[in-house]
Structure 1
């Protein structure tokens, strides 16, 4: 609930700046340009699954993001499956730096998350590595506003959504000035830092609960003498 409120605050600031132009007297600045997702990105990375026949590719080193890992999360902090360093190195160009923006483009399309640490994804996800000096949080919030567009573009008359990398890169996007993006980033980055820390703390608490609860239930951990 706390993280939801924090993200809603970030979304409200985004709307004020980039939809209503309130800091600019209700008028879009003339130095903002009409571009595409490709113009925002240093690179757009379409994920790939390393061969499952090579067991050594999988381990516990590098998060391997799939669509279920994205649901309900601002950041992907943990994943159901991990790659080994060896597996990640086998497709090094697919490695994403922190604060890359993942967008699901096949099946359940239009989910958007941020990458918490160096990660890779499967082929159902296109990820935006922001250009230097571009705000990852602007891009993250922008992609959320484009969620329905992504879904519709991927349908193409089919019930199965499949938006390829080329189509994804061509989606129209506003490119604010670097100065305005930096100012916006300074406003919202503390909110996202709190969200990430809260997610990590929730994971730590869940892990502690999962460790202690079986011991309490079995009687292995005796709390009868605690003064509560």
Structure 2
């Protein structure tokens, strides 16, 4: 179980501020000519993930896969930028403000900006920063989808804590990032297992009529209660209305008063 103490970070004179490209290497993706279909593939085998804004709508903090892929020849000949694992990706065209972390090496189209740094602590801080950023400030609300471009993104304001606070922050949140990535990958494996077993169950190839599901149900119930107990503990660490909402939610599921 992971326990995190919440403390509001207050900027002070030791914090550094500037444009976001003063702190990060920022790259923009690319789309090879659509009239040349040989550069694209729907198969992952031997090809390179190519993220689109549509892919960024998938649930989860991390991007694990893409709906389309580029061939290695496309990446090399068309000079498509490779995104390193751990980089932060931000959509800035048409749909502005979707944020993901690259779980592995991949590429993106030109509607996505990638933030990279050799300082992983700074990247750990950037993800929540971008998630909370008010993108309405980048243009008026009627034209935000078309007003934002790569120059706008690179000129975004950024404020970083001093090194000591940044390291302390990263040491507390990195286990959470690792847990989120592990759970996302496990969800993918479970979905693949479901998709392979379901046709066999429907066709009768696999017979579960003699399986006693009582033990399984008891196990799932106990596991669910342990997870919700953790939720309750996290709620007690939070503050204000969010703590109240989380406690009420846990109470409804657990059918017990929070202690």
Bin of the TM-score, shorter chain as denominator length: 0.7 to 0.9
Larger Rg: 2
Shift of 1:182: 2.1
Shift of 1:130: 2.3
Q: Secondary structure at the match of 1:199?
A: helix
- Residues 5-25 of structure 1, C-alpha deviations (whole Å, 9 max, x = no match): x9xx98x95x722xxx2xxxx
Q: Within 5 Å, which residues of 2 pair with 1:153-192?
A: 153-155=138-140, 157-158=142-143, 160-192=145-177
Distance, in Å, in 1 between the alignment partners of 2:163 and 2:208 is 57
Shift of 1:112: 0.9
Shift of 1:185: 1.1
Match of 1:47 in 2: 29
Question: Would the alpha carbon gap of residues 154 and 210 (structure 1) be closer, same or farther in structure 2, given more than 3 Å must change?
Answer: farther
Q: Within 5 Å, which residues of 2 pair with 1:1-228?
A: 13=6, 16-17=8-9, 21=10, 28-41=11-24, 43-59=25-41, 60=44, 61-71=47-57, 72-92=59-79, 94-132=81-119, 134-146=121-133, 148=134, 150-155=135-140, 157-158=142-143, 160-228=145-213
**How many residues get paired?**
207
Shift of 1:131: 4.5
Distance, in Å, in 2 between the alignment partners of 1:134 and 1:35 is 18
Q: Structure 2 regions of 5+ residues with no counterpart?
A: 214-259
Distance, in Å, in 1 between the alignment partners of 2:29 and 2:18 is 24
**Greater shift in the superposed pair: 173-182 or 116-125:** 173-182
Question: Would the alpha carbon gap of residues 219 and 155 (structure 1) be closer, same or farther in structure 2, given more than 3 Å must change?
Answer: farther
Question: Would the alpha carbon gap of residues 87 and 154 (structure 1) be closer, same or farther in structure 2, given more than 3 Å must change?
Answer: farther
Distance, in Å, in 2 between the alignment partners of 1:187 and 1:180 is 11
TM-score (norm 1): 0.80
TM-score (norm 2): 0.71
Distance, in Å, in 2 between the alignment partners of 1:177 and 1:159 is 32
Q: Secondary structure at the match of 1:210?
A: helix
User: Relative contact order (alpha carbons < 8 A, sep ≥ 6): 1 or 2 greater?
Assistant: 1
